[in-house]
Chain A
Amino acid sequence: MKRCVELYGRLRDAAPEPVVELELNEGATVEEAMATLRSALGAKASLLEGAALATGDAVLRGGERIPSEGRLAVLPPVCGG
């Protein structure tokens, strides 16, 4: 399945566009998606350190499956307030 992953914070510096398209297996887990994302970002993959995948509703945890639809974002360590 093709999934678009939105980039935020320092990860906006990792790619020319604020969205990266990934080709994932149906039922891919968070770990598998992060591995695919690391490959996609290449030399900028170190910016993924400490990052988490999230939907518009929740942060996804390691073994969870990537939903087949809805917004998907990769979030670096947070720094609000």
Chain B
Amino acid sequence: MTPPVFTEITERHLRLEELVDLVAAGSANGAVASFLGVVRDHHEGRRVVGVTYDGFKPLAEKTLAAIAREAAEKFETSVAVTHRLGRLELREASVAIACASAHRAAAFDACRYVIEQVKVRLPVFKKEHYAEGKDAWLAGCSLSLPIKR
């Protein structure tokens, strides 16, 4: 039986503790691993003051759910992952992941799997806002090419 998964695409502030509570509910788990992607203040020599995430929400929800189910099956972990859309300020979280399993290796591996798949499959797009007042959409991974899982 596939462990439970929880996924959400949201415009609200992410709360990692909520995801940890979701996955850690079972008493069979001996390990909970987590990951937070947060907005940093620099990128390729430019001073970043914020980021805006745009996304095609219906497909993003389905893709995120698929990624979480794959991780749950592959690593036998409970998985919870949320990605935020909209304007984010420095240090705010764009993606939060929590995974729980009997042992730590699977929990760490599942977290890694989820974030790596999010980066190449999730239909979300990132615009950076710079200190000088300009902004730019970042390059990314084409969905028209086969994705390695």
Contacts and interface: CB of A to CB of B under 8 A. Distances in A.
Given A6-B56, A81-B122, A50 B95 contact: no
Contacts of B137: 9-10, 13, 76, 79
A1 interface: no
A2 interface: no
Contact of A81 (B95, B123, B143, B144): B95
A43 interface: no
Main secondary structure of the interface of B (DSSP, over half): mixed
Interface residues of B, number: 31
Nearest to B139: A77
Interface string A29-61: 000000000000000000000111011111100
Interface residues of A, number: 24
Interface string B31-51: 000000100000000000000
Given A9-B125, A51-B144, A52-B143, A79 B138 contact: yes
Given A50-B142, A50-B144, A81 B56 contact: no
A28 interface: no
A75 B138 contact: no
Given A8-B123, A78-B123, A81-B37, A51 B142 contact: yes
A76 B144 contact: no
Nearest 6 pairs of A and B residues by beta carbon: A9-B125, A80-B124, A79-B140, A56-B58, A77-B140, A50-B142
7 contacts: A6-B56, A52-B143, A55-B59, A57-B59, A78-B140, A78-B142, A79-B125
